[in-house]
């Protein structure tokens, strides 16, 4: 009762309590009893997921963006406000009405209008071809509505969601409706990468006050006049892969992506994908069921998963705390007397959205499908596996073998973020450490053979059992019921499998672990230690520290808690660049994680190879964290214990399969751009040395000059300072 009593002191309603109590996560920090802060607090009327019907919405196949008939290599992309039906339905199957107006719910969203195709949320899927460069013209056309028509009225001045005005990027009075675009996974010039400070707002008259000159010395491409970004060039010289693009504006990246400013980008290679095993991948172009004027691939389906929160009237909400002063614990106010919102350590929604629909279902035929999964959530990671919705039976290799002894496991991963694997690998073989772990911003390219008899006639739920926040532990003790509920956030979508005898695909057997998928592509070789041009690994670390000026009320404890700043190399984003690889260089980076959470680290520009994971032995060797002046150091390379869990008495190579301290089979022999870094083995306590940090070793090459970002892809972490620039410099001038 202590937390509820303190919350009532804040003047929050019961509905507000419900929203605050769901999806709260905080970290160890000094706390104090919460006195009654002055001033109003935001009151939400949250939508209770228990009132919603699941598996009532048909899965939406995102259509392929149309090409411009006169200039097929140019895409015009407007960011617009629209409306979208997320499929929020009552449990009895009725339409969910706005409790205040009585009318059916209409949710305002933002999204990409691509060459005139506007869905209302996200963007249609762009298809690129290897070797054919594309030009993208991004325009900020965020306008209000007139006579019920979205995007036709005056320029929007307020964001769709609640901002935190203390964050870098929002604390200088910057316009709220800003955009820039990051091509996630794209090997592009730095001027087309979407620098978080190189944004444009929607009103050219306002933008004129924020123009900023380019600064090549730090790789800043400049902030232009008008409401359009300079033309972005995407060379498409990399391997065929599942990429995506999303907004990356400083201080509001999490909000813009959450509002819907994101889209898939499928880079294809007709030559390589038309030969060998890849020629037999499932495909079948047909008219999109939702937008018949556009096309989709019936059996090759991009799938984006997000968790979201709504109010009772169907509005999107990105939950916040009340920002409190650290001395008085009173609510902080803006110049108009409004209580200031504070970003949370993480954001947990309680409704799972797949391709824009709440818990959808898909009717599937008895044949092979390709699913290109993307985790588009702010903070939530997903651990995916399959279960019979009617019997509760978990679909496992043992069950599949019992049903069809001669057939291979019908779920394999054939690609990751930067292209095809060397060979297929079995995934999603069960819950916990047997599941397919999908991290924020990460992609997994899967083949699922619904022609396998184990699926025949079943209703199959795609499940999730990843605790939130995720510290590498799948046990029940690690689960917080307010952030992971098996009835809601533990369910993703439903597959209704045809009750007909299918023909199992021979592709799964021929694409197994002994046969290369890359017979028509350059074989996966990777980067050897002899290929490295930098003699020593580049050590970088991630740490948590207390925000000296901001705190919030943690409703789970009823205490005022210092806000957490998450930093890389103990430096905030604006600190001078410390990583300056040379053009054409090949380096080894070691991410050292001194925090209790798994962090998905994303590096712009470059693909990388995962070499190993493990922990740093701090009992025999000295690990000196970065202190804001010096970078981290480890006294002896032997301190890095590969493939072992801390504090393992018998390292190395002792971590079991599925351990976060061992690189998983689907992370090896494939190019990636996002990787999960395991946590510190013993949580960091105030005043105590770091115990057994987790680490990941990767190898990568730098092919373009200029400034690019590296950051945690938990976007709430990124905007809590867990982002830094690196600067690719000419040969002979790096560090």
Query: 677-691, pLDDT tens digit by residue?
Result: 999 986 445 455 668
Please report which confidence band the pLDDT of residue 10 belongs to, taking 50, 70 and 90 as the band edges: very low
The answer to whether the CB of 111 falls within 8 A of the CB of 63 is: no
Tokens found for residue 708:
């690019």
Q: Quick one: angle between helices 2-9 and 14-21, nearest 10?
A: 120
Q: Domain for residue 463, yes or no? A: no
What's the Rg (C-alpha) of the chain?
25
Final residue of a structural domain among 298, 331, 353: 298
- The helix (H) or strand (E) run that includes residue 507 is helix 506-510
- The helix (H) or strand (E) run that includes residue 5 is helix 2-9
| Phi-psi map region of 543: left, alpha, beta (phi>0 left; psi -120 to 50 alpha) | beta
Residue range 66-76, pLDDT digits in tens: 999 999 999 99
Q: Domain for residue 359, yes or no? A: no
The answer to whether the CB of 1 falls within 8 A of the CB of 536 is: no
Residue range 503-536, pLDDT digits in tens: 888 888 766 666 667 777 778 889 999 999 999 9
Tokens found for residue 250:
């400083």
Residue range 528-574, pLDDT digits in tens: 999 999 999 999 999 999 888 888 887 777 788 888 899 999 999 99
pLDDT at 9: 26
Q: Domain for residue 393, yes or no? A: no
Final residue of a structural domain among 252, 278, 298: 298
Total count of domains within the chain: 2
Quote the CA–CA distance of 80 and 355 in Å, as a whole number.
Answer: 18
Quote the CA–CA distance of 235 and 265 in Å, as a whole number.
Answer: 13
Final residue of a structural domain among 298, 313, 345: 298
Please report the sign of the dihedral spanned by the C-alpha atoms of residue 189, residue 191, residue 192, residue 196: positive
Q: Domain for residue 354, yes or no? A: no
**Beta bridge pairs of residue 616:** 640
The answer to whether the CB of 590 falls within 8 A of the CB of 538 is: yes
Whether omega for the bond prior to residue 427 falls within 30 degrees of 0, making it cis, is: no
Q: Domain for residue 654, yes or no? A: yes
pLDDT at 681: 84
**Beta bridge pairs of residue 612:** 697
pLDDT at 226: 98
Q: Domain for residue 333, yes or no? A: no
Count Cβ atoms below 10 Å from residue 219 Cβ, excluding itself: 21
- The helix (H) or strand (E) run that includes residue 386 is strand 382-388
CATH number for position 180? 2.60.40.420
Quote the CA–CA distance of 305 and 9 in Å, as a whole number.
Answer: 37
Residue range 446-474, pLDDT digits in tens: 999 999 999 999 999 999 999 999 999 89
Portion of the chain with pLDDT greater than 90, in percent? 74
Quote the CA–CA distance of 633 and 533 in Å, as a whole number.
Answer: 20
pLDDT at 450: 97
Instruction: Write b or e for each residue in 292-323: b if 16 or more Cβ atoms lie within 10 A of its Cβ, otherwise e.
Output: eebbbbbbbbbbbbbbbbbbbbbbbbbbbbbb
State the residue range of the domain holding 536: 529-728
- The helix (H) or strand (E) run that includes residue 403 is helix 397-403
DSSP code for 543: E
Quote the CA–CA distance of 648 and 661 in Å, as a whole number.
Answer: 11
DSSP code for 298: T
Count Cβ atoms below 10 Å from residue 166 Cβ, excluding itself: 18
Q: Domain for residue 12, yes or no? A: no
Give yes or no for residue 435 having a pLDDT over 80: yes
Q: Domain for residue 54, yes or no? A: no
């Amino acid at each position: 009762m202590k937390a509820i009593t303190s919350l009532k002191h804040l003047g929050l309603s019961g509905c507000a309590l419900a929203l605050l109590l769901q999806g709260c996560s905080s970290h160890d920090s000094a706390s104090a009893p919460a006195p009654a802060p002055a001033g109003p607090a935001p009151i939400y009327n949250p939508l209770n997921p228990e009132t919603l019907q699941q598996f009532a919405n048909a899965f939406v196949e995102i259509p392929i963006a149309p090409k411009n008939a006169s200039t097929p290599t140019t895409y015009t992309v407007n960011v617009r406000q629209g409306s979208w039906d997320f499929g929020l339905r009552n449990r009895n199957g009725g339409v969910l009405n706005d409790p205040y107006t009585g009318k059916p719910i209409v949710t305002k969203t933002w999204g990409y209008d691509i060459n005139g195709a506007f869905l209302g949320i996200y963007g249609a899927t762009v298809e690129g071809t290897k070797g054919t460069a594309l030009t993208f013209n991004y325009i900020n056309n965020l306008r209000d509505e007139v006579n019920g028509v979205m995007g036709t009225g005056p320029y929007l001045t307020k964001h769709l969601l609640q901002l935190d005005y203390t964050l870098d990027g929002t604390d200088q009075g910057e316009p709220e409706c800003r955009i820039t675009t990051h091509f996630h996974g794209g090997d592009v010039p730095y001027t087309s990468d979407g620098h978080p400070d190189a944004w444009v707002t929607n009103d050219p008259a306002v933008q004129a006050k924020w123009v900023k000159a380019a600064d090549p010395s730090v790789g800043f491409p400049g902030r232009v006049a008008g409401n359009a970004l300079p033309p972005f060039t995407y060379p498409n010289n990399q391997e065929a892969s599942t990429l995506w693009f999303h907004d990356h504006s400083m201080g509001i990246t999490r909000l813009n992506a959450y509002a819907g400013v994101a889209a898939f980008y499928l880079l294809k290679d007709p030559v390589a994908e038309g030969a060998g095993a890849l020629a037999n991948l499932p495909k079948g172009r047909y008219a999109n069921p939702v937008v018949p004027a556009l096309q989709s691939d019936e059996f090759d389906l991009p799938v984006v998963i997000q968790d979201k929160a709504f109010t009772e009237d169907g509005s999107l909400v990105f939950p916040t705390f009340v920002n409190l002063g650290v001395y008085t614990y009173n609510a902080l106010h803006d110049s108009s007397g409004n209580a200031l919102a504070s970003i949370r350590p993480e954001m947990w929604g309680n409704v799972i959205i797949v391709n824009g629909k709440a818990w959808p279902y898909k009717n599937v035929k008895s044949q092979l499908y390709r699913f290109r999964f993307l985790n588009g959530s702010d903070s939530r990671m997903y651990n995916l596996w399959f279960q019979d919705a009617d019997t509760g039976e978990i679909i496992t290799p043992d069950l599949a073998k019992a049903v069809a002894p001669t057939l291979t496991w019908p779920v394999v991963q054939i690609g990751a973020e930067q292209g095809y694997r060397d060979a297929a690998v079995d995934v999603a073989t069960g819950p916990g450490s047997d599941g397919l772990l999908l991290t924020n911003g990460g992609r997994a390219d899967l083949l699922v053979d619904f022609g396998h008899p184990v699926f025949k006639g079943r209703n199959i739920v795609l499940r999730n059992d990843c605790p939130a926040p995720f510290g590498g532990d799948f046990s029940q003790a690690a689960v917080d019921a307010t952030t992971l509920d098996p009835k809601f956030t533990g369910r993703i979508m439903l597959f209704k499998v045809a009750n007909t005898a299918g023909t199992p695909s021979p592709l799964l057997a021929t694409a197994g672990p002994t046969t290369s998928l890359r017979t028509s592509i350059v074989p996966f070789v990777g980067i050897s230690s002899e290929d490295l041009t930098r003699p020593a690994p580049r050590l970088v670390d991630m740490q948590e520290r207390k925000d000296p000026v901001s705190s919030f009320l943690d409703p789970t404890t009823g205490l005022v808690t210092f806000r957490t700043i998450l930093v890389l190399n103990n430096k905030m984003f604006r600190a001078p660049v410390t990583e300056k690889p040379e053009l054409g260089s090949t380096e080894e980076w070691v991410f050292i994680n001194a925090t209790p959470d798994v962090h998905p680290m994303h590096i712009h520009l470059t693909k990388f190879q995962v070499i190993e994971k493990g922990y740093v032995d701090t009992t025999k060797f000295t690990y000196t964290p970065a202190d804001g002046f010096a970078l981290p150091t480890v006294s002896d390379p032997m301190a890095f214990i590969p493939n072992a869990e801390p504090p393992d008495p018998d390292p190395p190579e002792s971590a079991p399969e599925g351990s976060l301290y061992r690189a998983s089979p689907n992370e090896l022999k494939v190019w990636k751009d996002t990787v999960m870094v395991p946590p510190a083995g013993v949580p960091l306590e105030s005043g105590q040395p770091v115990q057994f940090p987790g680490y990941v070793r990767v190898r990568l090459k730098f092919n373009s000059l200029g400034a690019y970002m590296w950051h945690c892809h938990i976007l709430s972490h990124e905007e809590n300072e867990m982002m830094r620039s690196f600067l690719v410099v000419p040969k002979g001038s790096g560090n």
